[in-house]
Amino acid sequence: MLYVSTRNAEEKVSASQAILKGLAGQGGLFVPEQIPKLDCSAEQLMNLTYQETAYEVMKLFLTDFTEEELKKCIQSAYDEKFDTEEIAPLVKSEDVHFLELFHGATIAFKDMALSILPHLLITSARKNHVKNDIVILTATSGDTGKAALAGFADVEGTKIIVFYPKDGVSPIQEKQMVTQKGDNTFVVGINGNFDQAQTGVKQMFSDERLAQEMEAAGYQFSSANSINIGRLVPQIVYYVYAYGRMLKSGEIAKGEKINVVVPTGNFGNILAAFYAKNMGLPIGKLICASNENKVLYDFFATGTYDRNREFILTSSPSMDILISSNLERLIYRIAGDDAKKNQSLMKALQEEGKYEITPEMREELAEFYGNYASEAETAEVIKEIYGQDGYVIDTHTAVAAAVYRKYRKETGDTAKTVIASTASPFKFTRSVMTAIDEKYDSQPDFQLVDELSALSGVKVPRAIEEIRTAPVRHETVCEVEEMQSVVKKFLKM
């Protein structure tokens, strides 16, 4: 299985090389030359553990890894770092199944992929005889940063630098990052938004002079964002696993289609579901849920992607994104795997802030449905679901639940549905608790944590307990244009 750049048909690499590079040349993303088919029967699928499911999916994409290498990566990732043996349990509430993707070390779905990425990366480095230290350079809208920091902290031969929007994450997300231990970790707040952080990181990746300076100093960049194929492939696993669980419990019959709802900003998580569908998993509709930064909703509604709009800070900050990087992989696909066509669209996005796809390309999007939830709708659905059965969801999951209600009302589609529950409510306690009852708004953040635990009957996660009294270790804040100099200073270049 080779990987090709979305912007240059000539650039082809192995899986391990794609993982090491993170980003392809000219700002392109690596995509598999073709999507492999699942070679597991329904009967086999329903009896696999999470780790076994991961192997069955990932062996098809990471074909230059030996069975022993891949299984070792999987076993090292999906262990007692997760607070449930199931790794990704399904919880039924009302008539939908919430796929809880937040049982890892940092209580967000990013753990599902970032627990394994360091192992894939180090294995890839050995495989390709890399002598340099690998510098993980990442922008975060809140969750990727902490999950990547936790994954790479004190991993030999690596350093990790995370940029986040200083005023664009929740207090708990920020505390999780700035208290991160590890001599190889560096966290920087920027006076700007996530899109500016992400653009700054991409510019450093494509800066050839910087690459030469890094090489001379014994370093090379790689990425932990979902632009790295080593992040995307592990995300396919949990959709396949969820389908197996539903088969086993008798919720669905063999071959029965399910719908999948994903709250998304950067488009990686729903792209993984799209890949799972293309592997042969019986998925009907892919429901793309946006918050008030509804650039993806507008794209699906009009065929025009336009980031020229106000950037809105919402209660679901991990989705406060106007440049959905992973959408490029879908655009490349619906453009008929045409790198030149895709590159011209991405050039328009860079220069004019927008692009429009052809009517033929729009027809290729029929399996997607897009909608968005306002702040009021998000809060309302948290309150309603808690009121009905005592189940508490976070703000991002609530965006998905609100959009799913709109979809059902519009279409009357009653197919069994899985909602990707992307973060623990403990990560967004103030927004969640004030949605349930406004009286909570006057309480301090960590008091709200205890209130939420009492309310939901769920023990306070270890990830939250750890940061209650943890000292702040990272206090650097910079302007957007200072990002490169801050990186060089940390690396003593």
Secondary structure element (H or E) that encloses residue 419, with its range = strand 417-421
User: What residue type is assigned to position 313 of the chain?
Assistant: L
Q: Pairing between strand 368-372 and 283-290? A: parallel
Find residue 31's DSSP bridge partners. Answer: 4
Q: How far apart are CA 90 and CA 79, in angstroms?
A: 18
- Residue 304 bridge partners (DSSP): 356
Helix axes 67-77 and 117-127, enclosed angle (nearest 10): 150
Of 110, 202, 285, 294, catalytic: 110
Residues 479, 187: Cα–Cα separation, whole Å: 14
Alpha-carbon gap, residue 374 to 5, rounded angstroms: 36
* Nearest alpha-carbon partner for 281 in 239, 251, 246: 239
Q: Angle, to 10 degrees, between the axis of helix 395-411 and the axis of helix 375-389?
A: 90
**Encoded tokens for 206:** 């494509």
Question: Is 110 known to be catalytic?
Answer: yes
- Helices 117-127/229-248 angle, 10° precision: 130
Residues 357 and 343: beta-carbon distance below 8 Å: no
Residues 138/201, Cβ–Cβ less than 8 Å: yes
User: Do 123 and 66 form a contact (C-beta atoms < 8 A)?
Assistant: no
d(CA 1, CA 35): 9
Cross-strand bridge partners of residue 222: 136
What is the rounded distance in angstroms from the CA atom of residue 306 to the CA atom of residue 489?
36
Residue 324, sorted as left (phi over 0), alpha (psi -120 to 50) or beta, turns out to be beta
What are the φ and ψ backbone dihedral angles of 93, each rounded to 5 degrees? -140, 135
Using CB atoms within 10 A of its CB, is residue 18 exposed (0-12), middle (13-18) or buried (19+)?
buried
In what order do the strands lie in the sheet containing 30-32? 8-13, 3-5, 30-32
Coarse DSSP helix, strand, coil percentages of the chain, rounded to the nearest 5 percent = 50, 15, 35
Q: Tell me which residues are annotated as active site.
A: 110
